[in-house]
């Protein structure tokens, strides 16, 4: 179980690591993969399967590049500096999120010195909820679905993918 303080500390550390990687890789965009799992349990067999599938998708989408993987108690992360303009990298990442069977469970950001690019910046629609057709942000803020409903759907998706 992860506490809120641990989660916030992890986000701060991730932001620090992103800044470090951007500084060490001038002229490159930084792809950062995290796994979207609700609740205090961030490292589970399902989250690890999702993270590994995401890393495999990044390797296929950015041939010849090998992501740095961090399997932490606060969740699975991968970092990949890529030699593409940030909008081009974001389009590749959106394609993974939109087409991979587990892509909806992956959060693949493209980070620049000015911060992360959002989907709208490359003409993409907001992500949809796992359980209904509303924008995911709406359901998250309104707590439209229970945590258990979401976890059950995630487990179903990972099982269907054949990783559990």
* Percent of the chain scoring above 70 in pLDDT: 99
Residue 119: what pLDDT? 93
Residue 164 has pLDDT above 60, yes or no: no
**Phi and psi (nearest 5°) for 146?**
-75, 160
Burial of 117 (0-12, 13-18, 19+ CB in 10 A): buried
The string of DSSP codes covering 31-64 is EEEEE---SS----HHHHHHHHHHHHHHHHHSTT
pLDDT at 163: 60
Arithmetic mean of pLDDT over the chain: 93
pLDDT digits (tens, 9 = 90+) for 89-132: 999 999 999 999 999 999 999 999 889 999 999 999 999 999 99
Q: What are the pLDDT digits (tens) for 65-74?
A: 999 999 999 9
CA distance 50 to 54: 6
What is the rounded distance in angstroms from the CA atom of residue 99 to the CA atom of residue 158? Answer: 15
d(CA 81, CA 78): 10
Q: What CA–CA distance (Å, rounded) separates 140 from 27?
A: 35
Phi, psi dihedrals of residue 30, rounded to the nearest 5°: -110, 120
Per the structure, the complete domain to which residue 38 belongs is given by 4-161
pLDDT of 160 strictly over 80: yes
Distances (CA, A) of 81 to 10, 54, 142, 151, 163: 20, 15, 35, 31, 27
Quote the radius of gyration of the chain (alpha carbons, Å).
15
| C-alpha span between 7 and 73 (Å, rounded) | 10
The model's pLDDT over 6-50, given as tens digits with 9 standing for 90+, comes to 989 999 999 999 999 999 999 999 999 999 899 889 999 999 999
Split into its structural domains, the chain has a count of 1
DSSP state of 130: S
Q: What is the mean pLDDT of residues 85-91?
A: 97
Q: What is the pLDDT of residue 96?
A: 97
pLDDT of residue 52: 96
């Amino acid at each position: 179980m992860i506490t809120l303080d641990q989660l916030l500390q992890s986000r701060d550390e991730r932001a620090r690591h992103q800044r470090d990687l951007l500084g060490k890789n001038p002229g490159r965009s930084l792809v950062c993969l995290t796994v979207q799992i609700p609740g205090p349990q961030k490292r589970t067999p399902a989250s690890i399967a999702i993270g590994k599938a995401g890393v495999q998708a990044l390797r296929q989408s950015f041939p010849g590049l090998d992501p740095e993987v961090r399997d932490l108690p606060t969740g699975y992360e991968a970092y990949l500096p890529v030699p593409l303009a940030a909008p081009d990298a974001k389009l590749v990442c959106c394609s993974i999120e939109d087409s991979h069977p587990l892509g909806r469970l992956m959060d693949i950001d493209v980070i620049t010195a000015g911060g992360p690019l959002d989907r709208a910046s490359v003409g993409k629609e907001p992500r949809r909820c796992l359980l209904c057709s509303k924008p995911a942000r709406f359901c998250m803020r309104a707590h439209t679905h229970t945590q258990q409903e979401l976890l059950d759907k995630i487990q179903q998706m990972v099982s269907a993918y054949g990783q559990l």
